[in-house]
Amino acid sequence: MSFNEEIAKRRTFGIIAHPDAGKTTLTEKLLLFGGAIQEAGAVKSNKIKKGATSDFMEIERQRGISVATSVLAFIYKDKKINILDTPGHKDFAEDTFRTLTAVDSVIVVVDVAKGVEEQTEKLVEVCRMRKIPMIVFINKLDREGKDAFDLMDEVEQKLKLRVTPLSFPIGMGYDFKGIYNIWEKNINLFEGDSRKNIEETIAISDLDSPQLEEIIGSKPANTLREELELIHEVYPQFNKEEYLAGDLQPVFFGSALNNFGVRELLDCFVDIAPTPRAKESDTRLVQPDEEKLSGFVFKIHANMDPKHRDRIAFVKVVSGTFERNKPYLHVRLGKNLKFSSPNAFFAEKKEIVDISYPGDIVGLHDTGNFKIGDTLTEGELMNFKGIPSFSPEHFRYINNADPLKAKQLEKGIDQLMDEGVAQLFTLEMNGRKIIGTVGALQYEVIQYRLEHEYGAKCTYENFPAFKACWVKPKDPKNTEFAEFKRVKQKFLGHDKYGQLVFLADSDFSIQMTQQKYPSVELFFTSDYQ
């Protein structure tokens, strides 16, 4: 197969959803269709039950051993499909944001009864801003839920999407009879049998045919005709170009648990979802079919087994081929590195591969060379853009609780920050370290991991900040900047790249600062330059 055919074969995407909407269940059913797993229950949920840190530790432990769950790959209809795992829990939202920089499209799962939930709103907003093509899957149709039209309205309004249904439910909950597939023009009847893998579909080329009454009964048949008429009038025609440009989002309905409506989704997905897309770097746009390798690290996964303290850096191949034992330039370090055992992922397994193509994810064993966002090339000096840090929402001093283990603590903090677990700020005034996180859960995770992986102990102390603002003076030499630094010295620190950060204690203080020091610009993400 030629290089271009390999690229054309690949579909790399993420599933985003609020916890419990059915992401894990859908992933599993997709893998079943791909023949990558034989039975349900094979995919580990990365779900964290409310407040249970132990759940997280257990999950992380399992995942540490089987990191392959971060990428699940399978073949379907000759397409190589890579699903990138995205944690739904809000405390790990940043991990998901970073993963979204490596996907070429997403599927958004919405619970038919709960509708659009908070976490989905946030994640979809990021995808919308990046113009990532999205397909919406409305799940749990076997349950009583909201009216299908109301739901599509909700998706349009809350997620600010422009939708068009490509399948439509016939009844819902107890009266759920099946799905009319607008895309393929056929009906799929629901029998509520979750063991069934591939359903039989009945082709209906003419909706006016009395065959429709025979299949679903006369009342549902009339309702369906009316609803389809309405869809035709109200919603835009599906158009692949608009979908690929991020301007139109097709909607599917189904029940992941019952494996219903999933095949329709997958068949359409392999037809329309984008092949690996070009990516912007700081110097130019990189096309996937370029001959030379380029790629970037979007995730680092620690091995939770203390006996093997190596990590796996996940690299998305953007262009060219990634080959085993070939030297590549680690641009930030200015160093050539060779990898003797790059991993590829298949279903829940990982294996060493000789060659990977654009769209693929390669897992590299790492002993501390990589940080999130690092770029690999064949010599070109460029860096891929698009993994900014967002301001954390919680801030605490981190203190060493075991004076004999100061070095271990330092190393542990350093490595955990490289993994992107949290952000570290060092106060300019006294060098004290502050950890900033998106959710409170991370503090426990950090404490646990420092102890179990590095043998270091820490305690925390509150730091009264509310937001981190990256500071950029219009003129670093003017007196206004000097005055700002003097007045705010207690709240100034540096992030791990040495950038100046103002740790503001309230929105009011941010506003006052902006008014008082107009030549000192404040930014809420780290990629302001």
Binding-site positions for GTP: 85-89, 139-142
Nearer to ligand G4P, 251 or 435 (CB): 251
Range in contact with ligand G4P (rule: CB under 6 A) among 207-215, 256-264, 344-352, 470-478: 256-264
Nearer to ligand G4P, 139 or 356 (CB): 139
Sign of the Cα torsion 18, 106, 72, 273 reads: positive
Q: How far is the CB of 116 from ligand G4P (least distance, A)?
A: 14
Residue 412 interacts with ligand G4P (CB under 6 A)? no
Give the DSSP H or E segment for 118.
helix 118-129
Q: What residues between 262 and 291 interact with ligand G4P by CB under 6 A? A: none
Range in contact with ligand G4P (rule: CB under 6 A) among 226-234, 251-259, 443-451, 482-490: 251-259
Residue 47 interacts with ligand G4P (CB under 6 A)? yes
Nearer to ligand G4P, 17 or 297 (CB): 17
Residue 194 interacts with ligand G4P (CB under 6 A)? no
Q: Which of 8, 40, 44, 45 binds ligand G4P (CB under 6 A)?
A: 45
Q: How far is the CB of 194 from ligand G4P (least distance, A)?
A: 9
Distance separating alpha carbons of residues 419 and 136, to the nearest angstrom: 30
Q: Which of 103, 256, 438, 503 binds ligand G4P (CB under 6 A)?
A: 256
Residue 271 has a CB neighbour count (10 Å cut-off) of 12
Residue 169 has a CB neighbour count (10 Å cut-off) of 28
Residue 127 has a CB neighbour count (10 Å cut-off) of 23
Q: Which of 255, 319, 389, 415 binds ligand G4P (CB under 6 A)?
A: 255
Q: How far is the CB of 28 from ligand G4P (least distance, A)?
A: 8
Distance separating alpha carbons of residues 255 and 144, to the nearest angstrom: 12
Nearer to ligand G4P, 110 or 504 (CB): 110
Range in contact with ligand G4P (rule: CB under 6 A) among 3-11, 100-108, 166-174, 250-258: 250-258
Report how many residues bind ligand G4P under the rule CB under 6 A. Answer: 19
Residue 21 has a CB neighbour count (10 Å cut-off) of 27
Nearer to ligand G4P, 26 or 331 (CB): 26
Site string for ligand G4P, 86-115 (x = CB under 6 A): --x---------------------------
Two structure tokens written together for 166: 């490509």
Specify binding-site residues. Answer: 85-89, 139-142
Nearer to ligand G4P, 159 or 331 (CB): 159
Nearer to ligand G4P, 30 or 435 (CB): 30
Q: How far is the CB of 252 from ligand G4P (least distance, A)?
A: 12
Distance separating alpha carbons of residues 499 and 311, to the nearest angstrom: 26
Sign of the Cα torsion 300, 100, 328, 324 reads: positive
Q: How far is the CB of 385 from ligand G4P (least distance, A)?
A: 30
Pairing status of strand 375-377 against strand 285-286: unpaired
Which amino acid, 244? L
Q: What residues between 137 and 166 interact with ligand G4P by CB under 6 A? A: 139-140, 142-143
Q: What residues between 5 and 34 interact with ligand G4P by CB under 6 A? A: 17, 19-25
Identify which of 499, 486, 507 has the alpha carbon closest to the alpha carbon of residue 525: 499
Nearer to ligand G4P, 22 or 178 (CB): 22
Nearer to ligand G4P, 25 or 275 (CB): 25
Q: What residues between 71 and 90 interact with ligand G4P by CB under 6 A? A: 88
Q: What residues between 434 and 493 interact with ligand G4P by CB under 6 A? A: none
Distance separating alpha carbons of residues 253 and 110, to the nearest angstrom: 10
User: Could you write out the three-class secondary structure of 456-525?
Assistant: CCEEEEECCCCEEEEEEECCCCCHHHHHHHHHCHHHEEECCCCCEEEEECCHHHHHHHHHHCCCEEEECE
279-317 burial, b at 16+ Cβ within 10 Å, e below that, comes to bebeeeebebeeeebbbbbbbbbbbbeeeeeebbbbbbb
Contact 371, 418 (CB under 8 A): yes
What are phi and psi for residue 337, nearest 5 degrees?
A: -130, 145
Pairing status of strand 500-504 against strand 163-165: unpaired
Q: Which residue ranges make up the site for ligand G4P (CB under 6 A)?
A: 17, 19-25, 45, 47, 88, 139-140, 142-143, 255-258
